[in-house]
Amino acid sequence: MMHVTLRQLRAFEAVARLRSFSRAAEELHVTQPTVSKQIRLLHEQVGLPLLEQLGKKVFITEAGQELYATCADWLETWGRFEQTIDNLKGLKQGRLRIAAVTTTKYFMPRILGPFCARYPGIDIALEVVNRDRLLERLTRNQDDLYIMGVPPEGLDAERESFMDNPLVVLAPIDHPLVGHQRIAFADLAGERFLVRERGSGTRMIMERVFQERGMPLRIKMELGSNEAIKQAVAGGLGLAMLSRSTLNPDPSREELAELDVEGFPIVRAWYVVRPKGKQISVVAATFLEFLRGHVQIFVRGQ
Ligand code: PGA
């Protein structure tokens, strides 16, 4: 009989799926030599090569394909078993995996802080990535919950809004339009904009806004972070459209001003998303409950 451990199978499944030892190590939060060792032990037990590495490429052998299919089933069944046991114990402990889009970094830590204080047994892994990366993780079912501003269309996912996410137009505090009321969108035609990278939800919404209004978006510069965009706006490089969640309650403290443009702020929400039909763990359900109950308090206290 083969002596195969769950850790070896987890390592093998990750390498076979990601076709990379280093990415598997990263995902499993272990070192690459640990992954290699698990795979070597597994090879010894099975008695046939499962993976072959040529240069940087990882190939799966026929035996490997067989094991991969079996593994995926086992791991899912085992995961369900662990979840059932935790549910039976009613335990509020374990790991909660959340993936959240970049812009949520302005409020997620302030939600997670009190949550962790209340449930010290829950260990949180928070991945902060842009919308495109987050959708990849959702498709691969890598996390328990996903936090985003533009939920996917076409993907089988359940969503629940939990907080406002208005999109506003930002200008430097000394811009001639600051203080004007009900500025027509067309009055922004001469302006250059600072935009987020492609793959960002903010960028996607912004492009949609210009498209819907039939006005070309004139891009001055593309920047990969909201913070960099705010600094560039304050420095007079152009205007921007960002979620109000990125702003200080008093934007003038950052030398920024919100313009009163017709149709703005664009009303949006923050959503918590999960794959449809996914049986969520007690830990994830506990977080959802917390989110529903505490976000309003957080918003009021802001
Ligand atoms: P982003 O997403 O941080 O990728 O721009 C924000 C959003 O979806 O509202």
Structure token pair of residue 68: 């991969």
- 142 with 262, same domain? no
Look at residue 302 and tell me if it is in a domain. Answer: no
Q: What is the pLDDT of residues 109-167, one digit of tens each?
A: 889 998 999 888 898 999 999 999 999 999 888 899 999 999 988 878 899 999 999 99
Look at residue 112 and tell me if it is in a domain. Answer: yes
Q: Which residue's alpha carbon is nearest to atom 9 within ligand 1?
A: 149
How many structural domains compose the chain?
Answer: 3
Q: Is 131 close to ligand 1, i.e. is its CB under 6 Å away?
A: yes
Q: What is the pLDDT of residues 191-217, one digit of tens each?
A: 999 999 999 999 999 999 999 999 999
Range of the domain at 122: 83-163+269-297
Mean pLDDT, residues 180-185 taken together? 97
Q: Is 101 close to ligand 1, i.e. is its CB under 6 Å away?
A: yes
- Say whether pLDDT at 79 is over 90: no
Query: Which atom of ligand 1 approaches the CA of 199 most closely?
Result: 4
Q: Which residue's alpha carbon is nearest to atom 2 within ligand 1?
A: 201
Q: Is 200 close to ligand 1, i.e. is its CB under 6 Å away?
A: yes
Mean pLDDT, residues 11-27 taken together? 92
Give residue 52's identity as a one-letter amino acid code.
E
Look at residue 30 and tell me if it is in a domain. Answer: yes
- 255 with 180, same domain? yes
Whole-number pLDDT of residue 297:
53
Q: Is 97 close to ligand 1, i.e. is its CB under 6 Å away?
A: no
State the chain's mean pLDDT as an integer: 91
Q: Is 230 close to ligand 1, i.e. is its CB under 6 Å away?
A: no
Whole-number pLDDT of residue 300:
44
- 94 with 224, same domain? no
- 112 with 243, same domain? no
CATH number at residue 100: 3.40.190.10
Asked if 99 and 263 count as a contact pair (C-beta separation under 8 A), the reply is: no
Q: Is 104 close to ligand 1, i.e. is its CB under 6 Å away?
A: no
Look at residue 281 and tell me if it is in a domain. Answer: yes
Question: Three-class SS string for 18-74?
Answer: HCCHHHHHHHHCCCHHHHHHHHHHHHHHHCCCCEEEECCEEEECHHHHHHHHHHHHH
Mean pLDDT, residues 2-19 taken together? 91
Look at residue 91 and tell me if it is in a domain. Answer: yes
Q: State the distance from the centre of ligand 1 to the C-alpha of 193, rounded, in angstroms.
A: 17
Q: State the distance from the centre of ligand 1 to the C-alpha of 197, rounded, in angstroms.
A: 10
- 168 with 253, same domain? yes
- 175 with 243, same domain? yes
Q: Is 246 close to ligand 1, i.e. is its CB under 6 Å away?
A: no
Q: State the distance from the centre of ligand 1 to the C-alpha of 151, rounded, in angstroms.
A: 10
In sequence order, the 6+-apart residues with CB closer than 8 A to the CB of 199 are 130, 131, 132, 133
Structure token pair of residue 95: 């790991």
Q: Confidence class of residue 76 from pLDDT cuts 50, 70 and 90?
A: confident
Q: What is the DSSP letter of 271?
A: E
Q: Confidence class of residue 279 from pLDDT cuts 50, 70 and 90?
A: confident
CATH number at residue 60: 1.10.10.10
Which domain-ending residue is among 56, 77, 98? 77
pTM above 0.75, yes or no: no
Look at residue 95 and tell me if it is in a domain. Answer: yes
Q: What is the pLDDT of residues 59-68, one digit of tens each?
A: 999 999 999 9
- 189 with 258, same domain? yes
- 122 with 208, same domain? no
Mean pLDDT, residues 220-244 taken together? 97
- 173 with 254, same domain? yes
Q: Which of 202, 246, 266 to mutate to test the pocket of ligand 1 (most atoms within 8 A of CB)?
A: 202
Q: State the distance from the centre of ligand 1 to the C-alpha of 130, rounded, in angstroms.
A: 6
- 148 with 189, same domain? no
Write out the H or E segment, with its range, that includes residue 100: strand 94-101
Q: What is the DSSP string of 128-194?
A: EE-HHHHHHHHHTT-SSEEEESSPPSSS-EEEEEEEE--EEEEEETT-TTTT-SSB-GGGGTT--EE
- 274 with 250, same domain? no
Q: Is 42 close to ligand 1, i.e. is its CB under 6 Å away?
A: no
Spatial separation of the C-alpha atoms in residues 102 and 19, rounded to whole Å: 27
Look at residue 1 and tell me if it is in a domain. Answer: no
Nearest to 205 by CA among 232, 166, 157: 166
Q: Confidence class of residue 296 from pLDDT cuts 50, 70 and 90?
A: low
Which domain-ending residue is among 77, 105, 138? 77
Spatial separation of the C-alpha atoms in residues 301 and 294, rounded to whole Å: 11
Mean pLDDT, residues 75-94 taken together? 77
Which domain-ending residue is among 22, 49, 77? 77
Spatial separation of the C-alpha atoms in residues 8 and 44, rounded to whole Å: 11
More confident residue, 240 or 282: 240
Instruction: Calculate the alpha carbon distances from 197 to 60, 130, 269 in Å.
Output: 35, 9, 21
Query: Which atom of ligand 1 approaches the CA of 167 most closely?
Result: 9
- 138 with 278, same domain? yes
Look at residue 72 and tell me if it is in a domain. Answer: yes
Q: State the distance from the centre of ligand 1 to the C-alpha of 92, rounded, in angstroms.
A: 30
